[in-house]
Structure 1
């Protein structure tokens, strides 16, 4: 019998001697986290006592214990570090291959293609600063630019049946922000809940606007698109491969209807083939979910109040889709193995509401987390530097990758664009191919 159960039994035997407040306090202070770091299990929840003082005491005790247990969850897998919030200066690693931002912006003659990476833009304000800035950057050369919207395109839960007009208006603001090529991929908030109805409404709207939404039909993918084909004047093409892991969270029973890739292992096998076939290309592999992050989805604190709330969500739904969760790792491990076999130039994602550039490790040249597309979602944003971090900031904005001509080949220039800034706040050399 553990300490919580013994303490509870003593309290239960003598509860007639407690006032309501004293009883609640006694229960609170005897709570403990399991050694594994997960939420504690309290015997009074399994076998609730019969209160002879006040039902209010039981309610207070329950709330107190849920708060404590969610706090224990919040401590599990937490990343310790400095929070580089919007009002603070960003983290920039000494090892980052920085270049002068103004000098890094290419003239049209030197630009091959611009890829704009923006995620979690699904709750725009009436005049959303991120979308306004995105339009300025994407529409300089709209015929030479692709904008990847990295999921969570409609908050809070996709396009709901009784709120279609509102959901479509959220999408319209994003679509109308630029005349460049636009590609949308799904995120967990686009699914909303079990089933794919909300996701398919988003797909139908974007189809009507002749905007790509991939992977299709609530399936995992992967989906390959060519942004720039190899030509006589271009040694390598520019392509993107995208996939979605949310079917295994929200629509597991229906994944079997998707062609081929009904398990993470099957998805990884096809991804492996696509990566091998395009290993010499400028390749952007994209998903809503990051491989690594120094933000809350990687275990960094959201702040005490938010940690309690998200801990409660975990207790109710069993997942926050955080990178350290067992279910997340089970899905991503075979995918990571495919990436390691043939690393792309960039792995790009959203999910965390901040801006990060990381060394790619075994899985890519560089990893990008760009989930700061909606100012409302970034306020109070939390992010710290982790191993391999080159840039980290909890500020609204997006990331731009310019593929430019360089000698006999091409080179990538990476820029972090934040609202209220005309020039990039960070630019670096992303390497050559």
Structure 2
């Protein structure tokens, strides 16, 4: 009996983990499609429909190459050239790794400024609009002093682009901020980092924010969505509300079996069972940037409670370094966070599409009222491809009369 517990059970467990690891490696970097979307290539926008507005959604671009070789920036430039003036590029936060834009005397300032200048050049040289959001890395990874770090980046972007809407929400406020991109297409921007940020964070007129009680944010967000049920609402933020990746509590078998590879990619020392402690902790309790953390969980619950009342919303975020699409209660939730890094994403679950690859999502709005999303993957040396396309159906209602809603 002792041999059974000491030898056979650990052997079977290790064999199971090794087999799961092998299976996982087989589908990594390969697209997953929900059964209903396997034949997505057959569907395209009507050829007689005119493109009214196109939106590129680039998340976590903070580690792009600055020598002209970056595949995502090349792909982004091609998109810019193809769409022209009727377009908007939304950068979904984590614009600068590892800690945003530090002070001028900081050792990381030069590299961060060079990368930010490159991104701003891509925006200032094309006729469309560019909008930057902030993410946890832009707020000094959520630590004390993050508010000033974010403001430094905001001031730099505003000074370079000379556009008051180029960094939103302003002053690090929670939002929501709305911009009418085209007739029938509304962009709403919210600052999800505010809800998980430690230390100082702005609220009230002394910071330039329109309200002093965060409950007013949820009331205004709900009222904004309710007033615009007659059009497609595109909500941009940094933190996803659905994810099959790290911040959604999904870990690779490699992280369970070889946990020390998190410290260095070559430390392949098998520690099954013990290696699962950290992933289980992140899944159950979470770091500040994880869905399972109490602050993130509370924010997510409130936002979903509001959005699930409506059926015309596209919510897009970055944060997880991959491409994902979910369709939940007639709304669409997108993760477009592989602007400069890639990370494991689990297939299946509620996901319609997932892919661990560099790239970004594009939203295209046509003259016949149709809205399509496309996932564009960038590969070396100069390849590009649409790896997923979907028409977003919706139930659109007449615009209601304005009315205050207090129960959210």
TM interval, shorter chain, is 0.7 to 0.9
1:120 aligns with 2:63: no
Report what 2:229 is aligned to: 279
Change (3 A) 1:92 1:264: farther
Report what 1:411 is aligned to: 370
The answer to whether the 8 A contact 1:416-1:427 is kept is yes
Distance in 2, Cα, partners of 1:330 & 1:260: 22
Q: TM-score by structure 2 length?
A: 0.74
The answer to whether the 8 A contact 2:30-2:356 is kept is no
1:350 aligns with 2:318: yes
Q: Which runs of 5+ in 1 are unaligned?
A: 1-79, 231-236
Number of matched residues? Answer: 339
Report what 1:181 is aligned to: 129
Report what 1:199 is aligned to: 150
Report what 2:299 is aligned to: 331
Report what 1:214 is aligned to: 168
Change (3 A) 1:245 1:109: closer
Report what 1:54 is aligned to: none
Distance in 1, Cα, partners of 2:101 & 2:121: 18
SS of the aligned residue for 2:76 comes to helix
SS of the aligned residue for 1:189 comes to coil
Report what 1:244 is aligned to: 191
Change (3 A) 1:320 1:401: same
Distance in 1, Cα, partners of 2:240 & 2:30: 23
Change (3 A) 1:270 1:386: farther
Q: What's the CA shift for 1:335?
A: 1.8
Change (3 A) 1:86 1:134: farther
1:267 aligns with 2:217: yes
SS of the aligned residue for 1:176 comes to helix
Partner deviation per Cα, 1:181-226 (whole Å, 9 max, x = no partner):
1111110000013231111111111101235100111111111111
Report what 2:338 is aligned to: 372
The answer to whether the 8 A contact 1:84-1:393 is kept is no
Choose 1 or 2 for highest CA Rg.
Answer: 1
Q: What's the CA shift for 1:107?
A: 6.8
The answer to whether the 8 A contact 1:132-1:177 is kept is no
Partner deviation per Cα, 1:311-347 (whole Å, 9 max, x = no partner):
4997xx9724111222211122222222122344301
Q: TM-score by structure 1 length?
A: 0.70
Report what 1:224 is aligned to: 178
Distance in 2, Cα, partners of 1:271 & 1:307: 42
Report what 2:361 is aligned to: 399
Q: What's the CA shift for 1:357?
A: 1.0
Distance in 1, Cα, partners of 2:64 & 2:149: 19
Distance in 2, Cα, partners of 1:181 & 1:106: 26
Distance in 2, Cα, partners of 1:397 & 1:86: 18
Match of 1:170 among 88, 91, 115: 115
Distance in 2, Cα, partners of 1:261 & 1:322: 27
Change (3 A) 1:139 1:414: same
Distance in 1, Cα, partners of 2:377 & 2:176: 30
SS of the aligned residue for 1:217 comes to helix
Q: What's the CA shift for 1:242?
A: 1.1
SS of the aligned residue for 1:183 comes to strand
Distance in 1, Cα, partners of 2:287 & 2:46: 43
Q: Which moved more, 1:391-400 or 1:254-263?
A: 254-263
Counterpart mapping for 1:6-155 below 5 A = 83=24, 88-96=29-37, 98-100=39-41, 104=44, 110-126=50-66, 127-155=69-97
SS of the aligned residue for 1:431 comes to coil
Change (3 A) 1:226 1:164: farther
SS of the aligned residue for 2:175 comes to coil
Q: What's the CA shift for 1:84?
A: 7.7
